[in-house]
Amino acid sequence: MSQLPAGPFARLAELLGDTKPGKDPINLSVGDPSGSVPAFVAETLARTSDTFGQYPPITGSHDWRQSAAAWLNRRFELTGAIDPEKHVLPLNGTREGLFLALFPLLPLEKNGARPIVAMPNPFYQAYAAAALGVHAEPLYVPSTAASGFLPDYAGLPDAVLKRLAAVYICSPSNPEGAVASEDYWRQLFALAERHDFIVLADECYADIYFDKPPVSALPARLKQSGGLSRLLTFHSLSKRSGLPGLRSGMVAGDPELIGRFRAFRHVAGPQLPGPIMAVSAAAWRDEDHVAANRALYAEKMAAATRILGNRVARPAGGFFLWLQTGNGEETTLGLWREQGVKVLPGAYMGREIEPGKTQSNPGFSFIRIALVKDLSTIMTALERVRDFLERQ
Ligand SMILES: Cc1ncc(COP(=O)(O)O)c(C=O)c1O
């Protein structure tokens, strides 16, 4: 873990230090959906609070499993392929599952050597913590404009593919909002079969999109092979329902991998508390609050493209702007000092490709802006960003 840098927000706090914001501060650095909490949350918590008196089952309640599986079948048009008893497990938020999944699933060796776990670069930092936690070698594969902001795993050298035991892939991606096409998924699964590795698909932004729902790994895999082998997908109520404080997500996919993960979780995994499970079942079942959230994000994204013009490439999904501005750390510091707008330097989500060369970090020249406040606050912040960038 000594190879793991401090988290992006700790680094941001250090960068800004004692610098005073130039205007009343607006924080668009954290992807905290911070929307209104649907009424069914409080009602369900009150109704089920007696279940705090029991240890909850690691596999979730019957109702949770039914609701979670029904959402997957409905949302991804899987015609009932997801069996609530075989294909799903509850998580305390996807971060927990994305981290823990490697512990029961990664081999100690691959073809006689230390296994490699590949991930996009830039990426959600828990992937690297997981790879380091199981003593695998993390491999940071650039997601740049040239590769459609997705990692080109098929382009890895044979020597790497021989040792590759798992890949993380995020779609819609954080930070870029790129979406993997069906073709991308097919090629990735074909590669996984050829080189015997597993695919951990982080799809926690799957319900936040602008034109059409993103293709998911689940139907792509099912169509290609008739099953879900080698695939685990991760879904979250933090983004879909705007409930990051609930700490509730799920993992779904290959029943054999789910079985091994379930066995591990029975020994060392965290359960989802009973009332949280009941709220989660209600949240996976309801689409109205999700559609309302999505419509709000669409308004915010439309405002962003209006205000920032062709500085932004509208993402296919997620709620981030990934803006190329020159040195992202300098932009972040300047924006805070002059305009009171807090964003995240793109470099804090990435890694240097050439050691010692900060500019080789694919996030170096970017900032990430999370469109998570109310529309008028976001518009004020983006007008300040525009004014700042115009004066550069
Ligand atoms: C790409 C990505 N994956 C996973 C997570 C974790 O989400 P949660 O643990 O709240 O489900 C986040 C949260 O910001 C994220 O951006």
Question: pLDDT (tens digit, 9 = 90+) per residue, 117-126?
Answer: 999 999 999 9
The CA 95 to ligand 1 mean position distance, Å, reads 6
3-state secondary structure 135-181: CCEEEEEECCHHHCCCCCHHHCCHHHHHHEEEEEEECCCCCCCCCCC
Q: How confident is the model at residue 84 (pLDDT cuts 50, 70, 90)?
A: very high
Percent of the chain's residues with pLDDT above 90: 95
Q: How confident is the model at residue 348 (pLDDT cuts 50, 70, 90)?
A: very high
CB 188 within 8 A of CB 156: no
Is it the case that residue 34 has pLDDT exceeding 90?
no
State how far the alpha carbon of 122 is from the alpha carbons of 119, 127, 144, 177, 239, in Å.
8, 11, 9, 12, 19
Alpha carbon 200 to its chain's center: 11
pLDDT digit string, tens, across residues 271-325: 999 999 999 999 999 999 999 999 999 999 999 999 999 998 889 999 999 999 9
The CA 322 to ligand 1 mean position distance, Å, reads 17
Alpha-carbon distance 124 to 102, whole Å? 15
Spatial neighbors of 58 by CB under 8 A, at least 6 apart, are 89, 90, 262, 265, 266, 269, 271
pLDDT at position 31: 79
Mean pLDDT over each residue of the chain, to the nearest integer:
96
The CA 390 to ligand 1 mean position distance, Å, reads 32
Closest Cα to atom 16 of ligand 1? 174
331: exposed, middle or buried (Cβ count in 10 Å: 0-12, 13-18, 19+): buried
Extract the tokens encoding 196.
């015997």
Q: How confident is the model at residue 222 (pLDDT cuts 50, 70, 90)?
A: very high
- Four-residue CA torsion sign, 162, 164, 170, 171: positive
pLDDT at position 33: 78
Is it the case that residue 225 has pLDDT exceeding 90?
yes
Q: How many CB atoms lie within 10 A of CB 291?
A: 11
CB 325 within 8 A of CB 331: yes
The CA 338 to ligand 1 mean position distance, Å, reads 30
Best mutation site among 29, 95, 207 for ligand 1, i.e. most ligand atoms within 8 A of its Cβ?
A: 95
Query: What average pLDDT does this structure show over 64-83?
Result: 97
If DSSP codes are grouped into helix, strand and coil, which group holds residue 200? strand
CB 246 within 8 A of CB 282: no
pLDDT digit string, tens, across residues 226-270: 999 999 999 999 999 999 999 999 999 999 999 999 999 999 999
pLDDT at position 36: 84
pLDDT digit string, tens, across residues 127-165: 999 999 999 999 999 999 999 999 999 999 999 999 999
Q: How many CB atoms lie within 10 A of CB 209?
A: 19
Alpha carbon 27 to its chain's center: 20
DSSP letter for each residue of 339-382: I-EE-EEGGGGS--SSTT-GGGSTTTTEEEEE--S-HHHHHHHH
The CA 94 to ligand 1 mean position distance, Å, reads 6
Q: Is the CB of 174 under 6 A from ligand 1?
A: yes
Alpha-carbon distance 279 to 90, whole Å? 12
Q: Whats the size of the chain, residue-wise?
A: 392
In angstroms and rounded to an integer, the radius of gyration of the C-alpha atoms of the chain is: 21
Overall pTM surpassing 0.85 (yes/no): yes
What are the phi and psi torsion angles at 257 (to 5°)?
A: -70, -40
pLDDT digit string, tens, across residues 170-193: 999 999 999 999 999 999 999 999
| Residues 294-297: contacts with CB under 8 Å, at least 24 apart | 294/207, 294/208, 294/209, 296/35, 296/375, 297/208, 297/210, 297/371
Of ligand 1's atoms, which has the minimum distance to the CA of residue 174?
1
Q: Which residues pair with 137 in a beta bridge?
A: 116
Of ligand 1's atoms, which has the minimum distance to the CA of residue 124?
1
Q: Name the E strands within the chain.
A: 26-27, 88-91, 116-121, 137-142, 164-170, 198-202, 231-236, 249-253, 320-324, 341-342, 344-345, 366-370
| Residues 36-44: contacts with CB under 8 Å, at least 24 apart | 36/242, 37/242, 37/243, 38/241, 38/283, 38/286, 38/289, 40/279, 40/282, 40/283, 40/286, 41/243, 41/246, 41/279, 41/282, 41/283, 44/275, 44/278, 44/279, 44/282
Q: How many CB atoms lie within 10 A of CB 347?
A: 24
State how far the alpha carbon of 332 is from the alpha carbons of 11, 175, 323, in Å.
12, 16, 11
Q: Is the CB of 204 under 6 A from ligand 1?
A: yes
